[in-house]
């Protein structure tokens, strides 16, 4: 990759609302030479690191065991004249913040506001993997499902209808076999489309809440939306508040949520997020 990009470019990005340079900088992501940030989320052992390596051209060895990525890995790739920074988040089954890994992943998606979040899912264990995807989709609309390990699915004679899945989820779904390099071109193309706004996902939100809970969520969401009109994930914030999520309560008290809502990176509060595992 050439290093001849001039500062002129970053100036053009500052006004772009999709760009959250300031916050990402606080999360430890150097945004100087990048146009978009892409987060890679997924259950442990779905080939997330393989996808990461394939996209970034790194050829590090990836182990076949859960919990391999203990630190956040970063890399980059270029596509259609845009530079993408790829952030590999720790593998988690959920984002309900019971462990440090989940908190790191959740904080990054929520406060880092990556331009695209790719959820890498194991096609052979779709149900459990969708669990995480649905949670990611509650936080961000800009999600893409990378339906990985399609080779394994074929080996187990499973047929996964990715078009139907995309319709049901409301986000783009790209079948891949990262180990064999299959589907990665489509994945990059899709990431680019979502990042640049050509494709606007309309993610399905959780639908089967019990009526009383649903009622309370709606009521609280109204209040959230009134206070933070530009927040993309008001329903999720309401849900987390009802669930008693301390981190979200804190974010409200410290004004971080307001900053996410205001869309102006200059106004954001200084805050260190413990992103690197201590």
Q: Which residues, 8 to 47, sit near other proteins by CB under 8 A? A: 44-45
Q: Which is nearer to other proteins, 14 or 250 (CB)?
A: 250
Smallest distance from other proteins to CB 86, Å: 19
The encoded tokens of residue 27 equal 């999360």
Rounded to a whole number of angstroms, the CA Rg of the chain reads 18
Q: For residue 66, state whether it binds other proteins (rule: CB under 8 A).
A: yes
Residues 107, 98: Cα–Cα separation, whole Å: 13
Count Cβ atoms within 10 A of the Cβ of residue 255 and give its class: 0-12 exposed, 13-18 middle, 19 or more buried. middle
Residues 88, 81: Cα–Cα separation, whole Å: 22
Residues 6, 212: Cα–Cα separation, whole Å: 55
Stretch that binds other proteins, among 14-22, 25-33, 34-42, 241-249 (CB under 8 A): 241-249
Q: For residue 100, state whether it binds other proteins (rule: CB under 8 A).
A: yes
The encoded tokens of residue 149 equal 């390990």
Contacts of 170 (CB under 8 A, 6+ apart): 137, 201, 202, 203, 204
Among 13, 18, 25, 96, binds other proteins (CB under 8 A): 96
Q: For residue 252, state whether it binds other proteins (rule: CB under 8 A).
A: yes
Smallest distance from other proteins to CB 43, Å: 8
Among 75, 227, 271, 273, binds other proteins (CB under 8 A): 227
Among 97, 120, 259, 275, binds other proteins (CB under 8 A): 259
Smallest distance from other proteins to CB 274, Å: 13
Compute the C-alpha angle 165/107/248, nearest 5°. Answer: 100
Contacts of 229 (CB under 8 A, 6+ apart): 261
Among 11, 208, 246, 266, binds other proteins (CB under 8 A): 208
Smallest distance from other proteins to CB 270, Å: 11
- What residues between 144 and 183 interact with other proteins by CB under 8 A? 149, 152, 157-162, 164-165, 168-169, 179
């Amino acid at each position: 990759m050439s290093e001849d990009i001039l500062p002129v470019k970053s100036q053009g990005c500052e006004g772009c609302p999709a760009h959250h340079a300031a916050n990402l900088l606080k999360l430890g992501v150097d945004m100087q030479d990048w146009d978009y940030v892409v987060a890679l989320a997924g259950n442990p052992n779905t080939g997330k690191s393989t996808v990461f390596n394939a996209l970034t051209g790194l050829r590090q060895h990836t182990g076949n065991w859960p919990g391999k990525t203990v630190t956040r890995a970063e890399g980059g790739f270029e596509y259609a004249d845009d530079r993408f920074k790829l952030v590999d988040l720790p593998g988690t089954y959920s984002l309900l913040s019971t462990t440090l890994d989940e908190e790191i992943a959740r904080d990054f998606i929520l406060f880092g506001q990556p331009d695209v979040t790719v959820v890498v899912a194991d096609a052979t264990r779709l149900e459990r993997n969708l669990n995480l995807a649905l949670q990611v989709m509650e936080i961000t609309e800009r999600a893409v499902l990378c339906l990985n390990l399609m080779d394994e699915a074929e080996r187990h004679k499973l047929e996964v209808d990715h078009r139907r899945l995309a319709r049901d989820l409301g986000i783009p779904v790209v079948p891949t076999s990262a180990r064999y390099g299959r589907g990665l071109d489509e994945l990059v193309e899709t990431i680019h489309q979502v990042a640049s706004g050509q494709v606007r996902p309309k993610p399905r939100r959780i639908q089967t809440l019990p009526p009383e809970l649903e009622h309370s969520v709606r009521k609280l969401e109204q209040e959230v939306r009134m206070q933070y009109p530009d927040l993309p994930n008001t329903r999720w914030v309401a849900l987390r508040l009802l669930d008693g999520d301390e981190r979200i309560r804190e974010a409200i008290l410290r004004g971080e949520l307001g900053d996410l809502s205001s869309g102006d990176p200059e106004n954001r509060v200084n805050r260190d997020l413990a992103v690197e595992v201590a």
